[in-house]
């Protein structure tokens, strides 16, 4: 099995807060992420696909095709957006890094499969020190 990872970036704002909680409780749990005036991140997205290389091209998947899919399905929808307000991805769900990886997976799996590859992992860096991995509903090690 071979793995190919494509990196893309996007910038987005969000706020983590539970509407039914007090401001104090939200700050206690979410810290600066509960800021009333939102806050933003320069997200660094790594999408990994897997499969056997094509015997003619040697590709698991054409990296340009993968880039196009990621841009159309994720970057074009999230870049410079307020995740809480500008998308329907997070209706009733907090836009945490963990939830973002799940939603990104949901938007990428079908077009990547249609392009003849398999989605293996979505890794999203929120900062240089924090990232989340998602390996799909079955999980992987």
Q: Which of 14, 33, 41, 73 is catalytic?
A: 33
Length of the chain (residues): 141
Q: Which of 2, 39, 80, 98 is catalytic?
A: 80
Residue 140, pLDDT above cutoff 90: no
Q: Catalytic residue at 33?
A: yes
Residue 141, pLDDT above cutoff 60: no
108-128: pLDDT as tens digits: 999 999 999 999 999 999 999
Residue 139, pLDDT above cutoff 90: no
Per cent of the chain over pLDDT 90 is 94
Distances (CA, A) of 120 to 1, 11, 12, 78, 126: 11, 24, 24, 21, 20
Residue 21, pLDDT above cutoff 70: yes
């Amino acid at each position: 099995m071979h793995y190919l990872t494509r990196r893309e970036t996007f910038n987005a704002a969000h706020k983590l807060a539970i509407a039914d909680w007090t401001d104090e409780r939200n700050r206690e749990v979410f810290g600066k992420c509960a800021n009333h005036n939102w806050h933003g991140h320069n997200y660094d997205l790594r999408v990994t696909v897997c499969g056997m290389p094509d015997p003619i091209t040697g590709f698991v998947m054409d990296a340009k095709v993968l880039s196009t899919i990621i841009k159309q399905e994720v970057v074009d929808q999230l870049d410079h957006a307020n995740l809480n307000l500008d998308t329907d991805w997070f209706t009733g769900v907090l836009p945490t890094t963990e939830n973002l990886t799940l939603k990104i997976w949901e938007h990428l799996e079908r077009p990547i499969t249609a392009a003849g590859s398999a989605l293996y992992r979505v890794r999203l860096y929120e900062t240089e020190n924090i990232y989340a991995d998602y390996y799909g509903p079955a999980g992987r090690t």
